[in-house]
């Protein structure tokens, strides 16, 4: 402090920008699913590159925005996602982690259907 009781800025250490860099890296999507969700949140909330770890409500999302986000997710990613998944996993990163098992299960079902079709075709031959 200086003689007036204020902070003497000349005596403060230089700022560390490493912390800012770390925060920027945490905002980057880790995978394609997070990128798709970030694009959806961006479109619905009119925010350029919303932070992937900030909850939907803190980004300014309303209940109408949630319905819009859900509609876009069902159109672009997975039609088996429901509104409760968004509210229990409010950030982009959490939502992506919750959707991944659903997508994996759908992929397994597709593979099983393909195998069954091949098997039925071979049986007929």
* 105 contact partners, CB below 8 Å, separation of at least 6: none
Examine residue 3 and state whether it is found in any structural domain, yes or no: no
Reading the chain (125 residues) residue by residue, the pLDDT tens digits are 888 888 887 887 776 544 444 445 567 899 999 999 999 999 999 999 999 999 999 999 999 999 999 999 999 999 999 999 999 999 999 999 999 999 999 888 888 888 778 877 777 76
Report which of 13, 70, 63, 82 is spatially closest to residue 37, judged by C-alpha positions: 70
Parent domain of 98: 17-123
| Token pair in block for residue 38 | 């970030």
The Cα 79–Cα 121 span in angstroms is 29
pLDDT at 20: 46
Report which of 44, 51, 39, 43 is spatially closest to residue 94, judged by C-alpha positions: 51
Report which of 96, 86, 87, 88 is spatially closest to residue 36, judged by C-alpha positions: 96
Examine residue 10 and state whether it is found in any structural domain, yes or no: no
pLDDT at 19: 45
The number of domains in the chain is 1
The Cα 53–Cα 107 span in angstroms is 27
What's the CATH code of the domain at 73? 1.10.1200.10
Upper half-sphere CA count for residue 45 (Cβ side, 13 Å): 25
């Amino acid at each position: 402090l200086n003689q007036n009781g204020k902070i003497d800025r000349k005596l403060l250490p230089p700022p560390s920008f490493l912390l800012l860099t770390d925060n920027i890296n945490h905002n980057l999507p880790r995978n394609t699913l997070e990128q798709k969700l970030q694009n959806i949140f961006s479109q619905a909330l009119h925010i350029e590159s919303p932070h992937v770890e900030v909850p939907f409500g803190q980004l300014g999302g309303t209940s109408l925005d949630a319905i819009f986000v859900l509609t876009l997710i069902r159109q672009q990613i997975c039609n088996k996602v429901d509104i409760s998944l968004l509210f229990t996993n409010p950030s982009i990163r959490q939502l992506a982690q919750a959707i991944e098992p659903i997508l994996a299960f759908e992929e397994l079902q597709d593979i099983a259907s393909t195998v069954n079709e091949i098997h039925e075709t071979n049986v007929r031959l």
